[in-house]
Amino acid sequence: MPELPEVETVRQGLAKWVTGRRIAAVEVRHPRAIRRHLPGADHFAAVLAGHRVVDVCRRGKYLWLPLDSGDAIIGHLGMSGQLLFQPGDAPDEVHLRIRFRFDDDGPELRFVDQRTFGGLSVSPGGAELPAEIAHIARDPMDPLFSDVDFVTNLRRKHTEVKRALLDQTLISGVGNIYADEALWRSKLHGARATDAITKPAAARLLGHIREVLSEALVAGGTSFDALYVNVNGESGYFDRSLNVYGREGEPCNRCGAPIRREAFMNRSSYSCPKCQPRPRSPVRAS
């Protein structure tokens, strides 16, 4: 699942290529791609045609494109969604789901999604912040993100720290990969109880989250396969800098112990058994 660096990389590319352009026509080629737009494909196309894209914004892992109508296009990439700019005469991708043409006859925007877990919809009056994503917390790269509130709210929770980092109402944009990487840098096991973490340790963890996200953003995100690419179809290369994620059995870059993999919420967690010892007492539900 694309996380903050991947989605922000796409946002930056979209902002460069689509801001200020007027939508001439929209073609919906697969209904699942607009399944969250309840009025349907014809309405989706009609309500967008003739309107100009004012900006490209992001909240956590969601994108939204404010329009001059006051509405907004909301997008989520899901597992395999891609937003690509292509010449109008370029062959259609096998998994092309939505096509946007613009009135300047420049490159068209294509939403390509192999697994069709992602999708687009229109938020009426959502140009400033769509109501559909208003519940999502700010991310740590946002200038208005409150470090004090994060530390306080993290320590108030009674859960495991990794579960807390994946809670998009506490902090957005952090997923499985970057949570593992930040916890490794912080020398914290993901099962550590949040209410047992000191204020300085929580602040250090937040600092490491920002470091990991910033470094991944510079690298264009993490690509393990061809499904995540930027708007030009290029893969990110932060996977070359991962310290634990996906490195089961390989030596820890800090102490040399073999990296372990543990089951976690139908996924996997990676950590160092020496640098990140398991907590002695598991978190119990309150």
Tell me the angle at which helices 176-186 and 199-218 cross, rounded to the nearest 10 degrees.
130
Q: Cβ neighbours of residue 122 under 8 Å, at least 6 residues apart?
A: 37, 44, 47, 48, 71, 72, 73, 74
Q: Cβ neighbours of residue 134 under 8 Å, at least 6 residues apart?
A: none
- Whether residue 200 has pLDDT greater than 70: yes
- Whether residue 85 has pLDDT greater than 60: yes
Span of 139-153, 216-230, 263-277 with lowest mean pLDDT: 216-230
Please state, in angstroms and rounded to a whole number, the distance separating the CA atoms of residues 219 and 113: 23
- Whether residue 21 has pLDDT greater than 80: yes
Which class for 241: exposed (0-12), middle (13-18), buried (19 or more C-beta within 10 A)? middle
Determine the 3-state secondary structure of 269 from DSSP. strand
> Distance between alpha carbon 130 and the CA centroid of its chain, in Å?
17
- Whether residue 123 has pLDDT greater than 70: yes
**pLDDT, tens digit (0-9, with 9 covering 90-100), for 46-62:** 999 999 999 999 999 99
Please state, in angstroms and rounded to a whole number, the distance separating the CA atoms of residues 188 and 202: 10
Residue 250's pLDDT is 97
Amino acid identity of 15?
A
Please state, in angstroms and rounded to a whole number, the distance separating the CA atoms of residues 86 and 243: 35
Determine the 3-state secondary structure of 119 from DSSP. strand
Contact 30, 246 (CB under 8 A): no
Written as six digits, the tokens of 89 are 């005469």
**How large is the average pLDDT for residues 236-252?**
85
Q: Residue 16, annotated ligand binder? A: no
- Whether residue 237 has pLDDT greater than 80: no
- Whether residue 229 has pLDDT greater than 70: no
Written as six digits, the tokens of 87 are 């010449």
Span of 103-117, 132-146, 222-236 with lowest mean pLDDT: 222-236
Residue 285's pLDDT is 43
Determine the 3-state secondary structure of 41 from DSSP. helix
**How large is the average pLDDT for residues 14-42?**
97
Please list the active-site residues.
Answer: 2-3, 61, 267
Query: In which band, very low, low, confident or very high, does the pLDDT at 220 lie, cut at 50, 70 and 90?
Result: confident
Q: How do beta strands 57-59 and 62-66 pair?
A: antiparallel
Contact 187, 204 (CB under 8 A): no
Span of 156-160, 202-206, 223-227, 263-267 with lowest mean pLDDT: 223-227
pTM of the model: 0.89
